[in-house]
């Protein structure tokens, strides 16, 4: 059996052999298919990249039909149970789990890069009191590039890694400052004696106590949520990171672009949207009416569906179990009843079954975050902090891949072809067009 595709162009009756490698054909091989010498050649049309691989990667594997997620080969279930966020970040970046010594060195580096320049605080002060923390985060991460001019040396391994460490380390600090800003509270400096998530909780919630003692169950729950969010291969924000990074801009600017992509309600903003939806529904008896609206196409069921998973998102399964552990400490979030009823009805309904719509990672996270006293607009920020590990790992892989170039898709142009400029006094009226 030949690893190739035979294509017959019915326009010319010419036959082409196109090699198949790793279950794909190279889109550039289609360009050989032409009707004449001056024909540009065939292209593929794939809005939203639904069937286009944009890179070769060794970081994260997803089997959407089976509901499998592996980071560097390790199942997400095992990482969730046995690993920590920083260890998973190390794994994503360096490809292997660290030895004890390597882990200590990595944690030490992250811990000593958590501070941000005092001018960042001034920058944050400029934001309105009710600015969305995700907007603040994206603005301040972009601004970090101006504090580290050496970040432009993206091909220098030492410089590159320093920025990757800084990004992972400073994200919780910026996120906590954004939160404190919205509450009118003074910013709390990092506490190096605490864990990554313990320190984050301290920067968020410490008031006057000299040392903040995070609740161990909540500290571990947040760390586990960070493990689950650390990477998810070529999603919208990962693709933004690679695409913007392919121009060889510094990583702070590329991460700002990735945060912008994550902000949207169809991506990382979905966890916030789920909570709004659950609150709008309000009680279990109103769930059926909401499902009716979803099926009528009036609204989407937020936290349901996924481009890749056509099965239960394995991360959502783990989070659903975590809900109980967290609620034992915080007390039950009454919206859980609404969420469970939504899931029950949706999973039995033909509309959702036919479209293979299952709960995704965002369906239950909001309930946990709310129980932990995070305001809703912090939810997407809680996604961005851990996803930074995935973004920088994807970014470095892209930079070092000799097959990668600046991202530059093609288009199918369906507009006017060349025509002559006409002076304003001689133009026909365009009233309907102007109203568009």
| Positions marked catalytic | 306, 362
Position closest to ligand CMC via CB: 305
Nearest Cα residue to 48 out of 232, 316, 266, 297: 266
91/87 Cα distance (integer angstroms): 6
Task: Find the shortest distance in angstroms from Cβ 297 to ligand CMC.
Answer: 7
Phi, psi of 6 (to 5 degrees): -100, 125
CB count within 10 Å of CB 75 equals: 14
> Which residue lies nearer to ligand CMC by CB, 203 or 260?
260
Residue pair 110/385 in contact by the 8 Å Cβ criterion: no
> Which residue lies nearer to ligand CMC by CB, 33 or 319?
319
Task: Find the shortest distance in angstroms from Cβ 258 to ligand CMC.
Answer: 12
Burial degree of 107 (CB within 10 A; 0-12, 13-18, 19+): middle
118/431 Cα distance (integer angstroms): 53
> Which residue lies nearer to ligand CMC by CB, 144 or 261?
261
> Which residue lies nearer to ligand CMC by CB, 112 or 293?
293
Nearest Cα residue to 330 out of 297, 292, 291, 370: 370
Residue pair 141/263 in contact by the 8 Å Cβ criterion: no
Write out the residues near ligand CMC by the rule CB under 6 A.
Answer: 235, 266-268, 270, 294, 300-307, 355, 357, 360-362
């Amino acid at each position: 059996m030949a690893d190739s595709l035979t294509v017959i162009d019915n326009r010319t009756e010419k036959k082409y052999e196109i090699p198949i490698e790793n279950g794909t054909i190279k889109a550039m091989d289609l360009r050989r298919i032409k009707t004449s010498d001056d024909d540009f050649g065939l292209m593929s049309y794939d809005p939203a990249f639904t069937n286009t691989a944009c890179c070769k990667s060794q970081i994260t594997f997803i089997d959407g039909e089976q509901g499998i997620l592996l980071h560097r080969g390790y199942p997400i279930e095992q990482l969730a149970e046995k690993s920590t966020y920083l260890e998973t970040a190390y794994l994503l970046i360096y490809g292997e789990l660290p030895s004890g010594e390597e882990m200590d060195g990595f944690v030490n580096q992250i811990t000593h890069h958590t501070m941000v320049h005092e001018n960042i605080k001034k920058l944050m002060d400029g934001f309105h009191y009710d600015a969305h923390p995700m907007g603040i985060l994206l603005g301040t991460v972009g601004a970090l590039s101006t504090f580290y001019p050496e970040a432009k040396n993206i091909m220098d391994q030492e410089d590159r890694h320093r920025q990757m460490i800084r990004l992972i380390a400073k994200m919780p600090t910026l996120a906590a400052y954004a939160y404190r800003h919205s509450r009118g509270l003074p910013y709390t400096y990092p506490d190096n004696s605490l864990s990554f998530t313990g320190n984050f909780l301290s920067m968020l919630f410490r008031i006057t106590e000299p040392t903040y003692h995070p609740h161990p169950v909540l500290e571990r729950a947040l760390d586990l949520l960070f493990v689950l969010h650390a990477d998810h291969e070529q999603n919208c924000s990962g693709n933004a990171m690679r695409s913007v990074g392919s121009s060889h801009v510094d990583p702070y600017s590329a991460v700002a672009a990735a945060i912008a992509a994550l902000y949207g309600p169809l991506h990382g903003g979905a966890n916030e949207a789920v909570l709004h939806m659950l609150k709008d529904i309000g009680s279990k008896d109103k769930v059926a009416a909401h499902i009716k609206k979803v099926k009528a196409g009036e609204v989407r069921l937020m936290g349901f569906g996924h481009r890749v998973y056509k099965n239960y998102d394995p991360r959502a399964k783990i989070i659903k179990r975590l809900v109980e552990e967290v609620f034992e400490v915080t007390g039950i979030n009454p919206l859980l009843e609404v969420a469970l009823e939504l899931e029950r009805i949706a999973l039995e309904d033909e509309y959702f079954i036919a479209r293979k719509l299952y709960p995704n990672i965002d369906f239950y996270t909001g309930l946990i975050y709310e129980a932990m006293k995070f305001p809703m607009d912090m939810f997407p920020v809680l996604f961005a902090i851990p996803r930074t590990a995935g973004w920088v790992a994807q970014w470095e892989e892209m930079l070092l891949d000799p097959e990668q170039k600046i991202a530059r898709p093609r288009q199918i142009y369906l507009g006017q072809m060349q025509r002559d400029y006409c002076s304003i006094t001689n133009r026909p009226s365009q009233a309907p067009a102007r109203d568009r």
